[in-house]
Amino acid sequence: MTDLNQGSPAPEKKPGPSLLADDPFAGAAPGKKPTLTTGGQRAFFSCWDVHAYYGESYIVQGVSFDIREGEIVALLGRNGAGKTSTLRTIARVDSPNLKHGEIWLDHKPLHSMRAHQASFNGIGLVPEDRRIIAGLTVEENLQLAQISPPVGWSIERIYDLFPRLGERRNQEGITLSGGEQQMLAISRALARDVKLLLLDEPYEGLAPVIVQEIERTLEQIKNLGMTTIIVEQNAIAALHLADRAIILDMGQVVFDGVSQEVLDNADLRQQYLAI
């Protein structure tokens, strides 16, 4: 039988003490603490025993994992497994509502922050719908991202990475092609000082040739050492890009290990990814 938890143990079912108000798990027995890397340092990013709800709907059910600086992690799972909800919880957007757990990025407690503070502290969420702002040119979309600190890449550096955006700098952002809009959405995150890039289905709805172009750019971003979580339905593409894979099922981590293990394990792919 396939061991689905080869990379690291499954998260503790029992939540630990809470730092959050309105925590339904407050007072429960302590759970497993975030893993310490060698040298006793907390991982660059860690989420520990994260539980999040949309209203009464219990969706993220005790998710725990660590990410090293510069690592790229593919967060995979079937439709409805909780991938987007996990990214949104990490980014501290209003819903789903984090009710229990800890989320740390570079020693900063994201669990006690709102979305704008998480952004200030280095979270760069590129949502599935891209959210290009109507009425603004490509360049104005980028300038808007830099209106408040911390500023990341210069706009010229972004145009070096995505020459097509440079060529279209004066074009209204929402008139770009789907692939170009995805490039703009990624660029908008890089225009801020991002420590953890969260990409939700960056290849969605794009022709294979455009997917390949964005893949090459993400390889370049990876080679620059950007710590990234990529959620993708195109799991094979994401696994080729990523060092590690985390698979979610029904809001829980069912696998955490190197990407190659998933590529090599047909049973695992069939069971949790249906590929």
- Which residues of the shown chain bind Mg ion in the complex (CB under 5 A)? 84
62 contacts ligand ATP (rule: CB under 6 A): no
Q: Which residue is nearest to Mg ion (CB)?
A: 84
Task: Identify the CA nearest to 99 among candidates 40, 56, 66, 128.
Answer: 56
77 contacts ligand ATP (rule: CB under 6 A): yes
Chosen from Mg ion, ligand ATP, none, partner binding at 81 (C-beta under 5 to 8 Å by type): ligand ATP
- Which contiguous run of DSSP H or E holds residue 50? strand 45-54
How does strand 196-200 pair with strand 45-54? unpaired
Task: Identify the CA nearest to 123 among candidates 168, 166, 67, 161.
Answer: 67
Judge whether 75 and 231 are in contact, CB under 8 Å. Answer: yes
225 contacts ligand ATP (rule: CB under 6 A): no
> Cβ 93 to ligand ATP, closest distance in Å?
11
How does strand 57-67 pair with strand 45-54? antiparallel
- Which contiguous run of DSSP H or E holds residue 213? helix 208-223
Report residue 95 CA to chain centroid gap: 16
> Cβ 242 to Mg ion, closest distance in Å?
17
> Cβ 227 to Mg ion, closest distance in Å?
20
SS3 of 228-250: the string is EEEECCCHHHHHHHCCEEEEEEC
83 contacts ligand ATP (rule: CB under 6 A): yes
228 contacts ligand ATP (rule: CB under 6 A): no
Which is nearer to ligand ATP, 41 or 79 (by Cβ)?
A: 79
Which is nearer to ligand ATP, 106 or 204 (by Cβ)?
A: 204
208 contacts ligand ATP (rule: CB under 6 A): no
> Cβ 128 to ligand ATP, closest distance in Å?
7
Can you give the binding site for ligand ATP, defined by CB under 6 A?
54, 57, 59, 77, 79-85, 95
